[in-house]
Amino acid sequence: MYKYATAVQQQTATTSQDTDNVSGSTSQEDDFFCFEAQPAESTDARTEVDMFLTDTSRDIHCLNRYPVIQKLFLWYNTALPSSAPVERLFSLGGQILAPRRNWLTPAHFKHQLLLHANKWVFRQ
């Protein structure tokens, strides 16, 4: 998690220099998707992750205090508007569950499918 948080923090630092202030009809404190309201002090990603993990509040609005965690949350918890990834997953499942591999238990099938679908994570 630290590696991803550090990468997002570096990306945020470079993009925040290029953005202008945007005014809206809602206040920036209440707007969850507003990235302009960054804290004045700059914390490194490791410190921010540690602060988030020790925070007792589990409300969704507590993410406003942690901009790096908020970006990660939005990146990984956003629903995809297309059915192509699901179709790819079903196609991969059909390749794994071939007639010559009919001995696979449901647990082994699930593990094989997840390993094949997420193998790009292990290449990095």
In this structure, the answer to whether residues 10 and 62 fall within a common structural domain is yes
Amino acid 22: pLDDT:
42
Residues 93 and 113 in one domain: yes
Q: Are residues 22 and 42 in the same domain?
A: yes
Residue ending a domain, among 39, 56, 76, is 76
Looking at the fold, whether 10 and 57 belong to one and the same domain comes out as yes
Start-to-end Cα distance in the chain: 14
72: containing domain:
2-76
Same domain, 11 and 30: yes
Residues 72 and 108 in one domain: no
84-120 b/e (C-beta count within 10 Å ≥ 16 → b): eeeeeeeeeeeebeeeeeeeeeeeeeeebbeeeeeee
Mean pLDDT of 52-81: 86
Question: What pLDDT digit, counting tens, does each position of 13-55 carry?
Answer: 555 544 444 444 445 555 666 655 555 445 688 888 888 889 9
State the pLDDT confidence band at 6, using cuts at 50, 70 and 90. Answer: low
Shared domain check, 46 and 70: yes
56 and 94 housed in the same domain: no
Instruction: Work out the percent of the chain whose per-residue pLDDT is above 70.
Output: 64
What's the pLDDT band for 117 if we cut at 50, 70, 90?
confident
Same domain, 25 and 60: yes
Residues 12 and 71 in one domain: yes
Report the number of distinct structural domains present in the chain: 2
Judge if 32 and 67 occupy the same domain.
Answer: yes
Tell me the pLDDT tens digit for each residue of 71-92. 888 888 887 778 888 888 899 8
88 and 72 both lie in a single domain: no
Tell me what the pLDDT averaged over the chain comes to. 75
Does this model's pTM top 0.85? My answer is no
